[in-house]
Structure 1
Amino acid sequence: MNPLQRALIEKAGHDNGFEHVLSSAGDAVTLASARHRSQAVVTVSADGFGLRLQPATPALLPELLRSFQPWAGADDVFCVPTLADLAALLRRAANLSQALPKQAVRDYHAAVAQAVQELPAESRGTEVERLVRQRVGQERYRDALLTYWGGACAVTGINVPEVLRASHAKPWAECADDAARLDAFNGFLLVANLDALFDRFLISFDEAGHLLASARLSQGQLHALGIHPGMALRWLAGEHRPYLQWHRERFLLGA
């Protein structure tokens, strides 16, 4: 690795969510960030770059493979052809590292601590504080889903942020802890009409991600709501399934 290659790798990391260089010696550059706990080890090869991630969460690598499967090599090393491709992979890895479980909870607790500190002393420990915690959590959850789904509806692919909602499969009030409330796998990013139906258990999704509609909705109503046969989630991770099963059971009770 020559000095120019080393400098370009460090800049790609800095500009794409890995702003710290932990090591830059020999044939590898190790990148990290203060915003998440994943690390990336980048090498140079005759065909471009090699990238080995040390993920902050086990869910990171499977999620990256959705978009970057052609670059996947042996031993969890991505073989990336160009510097622009390396930047794209680092950026997605950094974004997911902040959105997926654990880091989202850490960020939430830090944001809540700051928000509570700014409250008047007489409001702490009251309903006001509870509402602040919920508002901060919902904001963090929406940010996580926007990142995870690439800013587009999990079903339709519509990418207009103003009409997208962060839909919990297992509602906030039903979750046992903050980890479940803020888990990016506990729900989907949906356009407003699908969000309203999903929130009221009038639609759900089967084990393969196909949309299920309540018998309470007529064909005319489904058509007017933009729901048609064959609609399905763009993808469904294994981590979604426990939450989705909970939601589907409530849906079937209403059906």
Structure 2
Amino acid sequence: MIDTGDRLRIYPFALGSELEDAAKGQGYRIPMGQAAGWLFFTSSSAPGEIAVAATARGMEGPFFLSVAHPGAARELSAPAATPCAKGHAAAFAFPTRDALFAAVSAVYRLSISLPTLPFEEFLRETAHLGDTEADRVQKVRVGQDRFRSAVLNYWNSACPLTGITVPELLRASHIIPWSRCENDQERLNVHNGLLLSSLWDAAFDAGLITFDDNGVAVGSPRLTRAEILALNLDNAAPLTLTDDHRNRLVWHREVVWCAD
């Protein structure tokens, strides 16, 4: 594991400005001071604090990122480093400035999409609504909007199978459908969702495709060869899944997928 112990304690202006840009440019715009070589930042819209640091090698790298949000730290795909800032969940190391910037952006997206923030936002937005039919319809609309926003952020606004980024062609697909979820917290859980292009979403909802525990797309025997080619199923990259996704995909394979 990479050691963060050689981080600078006092930063030259240019290097400090780069670290500040890494945080402020990705949503962490509130500086919280410096301690033990870490520059701390927080956000008005994302829970959790981050800290950034560098070494005497300056722009040659490495750069360090410490993350307080345990969920974001758990899901960030990056080389681990130690020790992290005091009170944080984990630290990571990056060889370049651009890699650091991308990681801070990923932490921000994860922090605003992971449970339970979307559900808490839903509760705040619907607190004034009652239990009339119109109110229930409005709650569903708010919930679906919150879920879509969370799924878009989680998957970086791109279908991981096709690379499509046009919002009108993207669907926030529930793994366990909205109507089958036990409660609103499950309905708004980003791990119960995949960001798919409209064609893949239709096939997934119809049980014509599913995903195994490795994220590999599996086509139903009902698909013709022409339909498999239209989906480009054989060349689809595996999804990056968490155990929370995998647990729900078991349900999809058992209940929705057309296995014969």
TM-score by length of 2: 0.80
1:108 equivalent to 2:114? Answer no
Aligned equivalent of 1:79: 93
Deviations 1:38-88 (A, max 9, x none): 211223312443221111x43x224221xx34xx32344222345444333
Q: Which has the higher helix share?
A: 1
Deviations 1:116-141 (A, max 9, x none): 46xxxxxx321211111111111121
Please list every run of at least 4 consecutive aligned residues from structure 1 whose deviation after the TM superposition is greater than 4 angstroms: 5-8, 81-84
RMSD (Å) for aligned C-alpha atoms: 2.5
Superposed displacement of residue 97, structure 1: 0.4
In the alignment, the residues of structure 2 paired with residue 26 and residue 232 of structure 1 have an alpha-carbon distance, to the nearest angstrom, of 42
Superposed displacement of residue 181, structure 1: 1.0
Within-5 A mapping of 1:16-35: 16-25=26-35, 27-35=37-45
Aligned equivalent of 2:22: 12
Provide the secondary structure at the position in 1 that maps to 2:231: coil
Q: Percent identity?
A: 34
In the alignment, the residues of structure 2 paired with residue 236 and residue 127 of structure 1 have an alpha-carbon distance, to the nearest angstrom, of 37
Superposed displacement of residue 166, structure 1: 0.6
In the alignment, the residues of structure 1 paired with residue 96 and residue 239 of structure 2 have an alpha-carbon distance, to the nearest angstrom, of 28
Superposed displacement of residue 239, structure 1: 1.7
1:170 equivalent to 2:176? Answer yes
Contact map agreement 1:210 1:230 (CA 8 A) in 2: no
Contact map agreement 1:203 1:251 (CA 8 A) in 2: no
Contact map agreement 1:22 1:32 (CA 8 A) in 2: yes
The structure-2 alpha-carbon separation of the partners of 1:197 and 1:77, relative to structure 1 and needing over 3 Å to count, comes to same
Superposed displacement of residue 165, structure 1: 0.5
In the alignment, the residues of structure 2 paired with residue 83 and residue 149 of structure 1 have an alpha-carbon distance, to the nearest angstrom, of 22
Given candidates 244, 247, 252, the residue that maps to 1:247 is: 252
Given candidates 145, 150, 159, the residue that maps to 1:153 is: 159
Superposed displacement of residue 189, structure 1: 0.7
Unpaired stretches in structure 2, ≥5 consecutive residues: 1-9, 84-89
The structure-2 alpha-carbon separation of the partners of 1:208 and 1:88, relative to structure 1 and needing over 3 Å to count, comes to closer
In the alignment, the residues of structure 1 paired with residue 258 and residue 152 of structure 2 have an alpha-carbon distance, to the nearest angstrom, of 30
Letter of the structure 1 residue corresponding to residue 125 of structure 2: A
Superposed displacement of residue 93, structure 1: 0.7
Contact map agreement 1:214 1:251 (CA 8 A) in 2: no
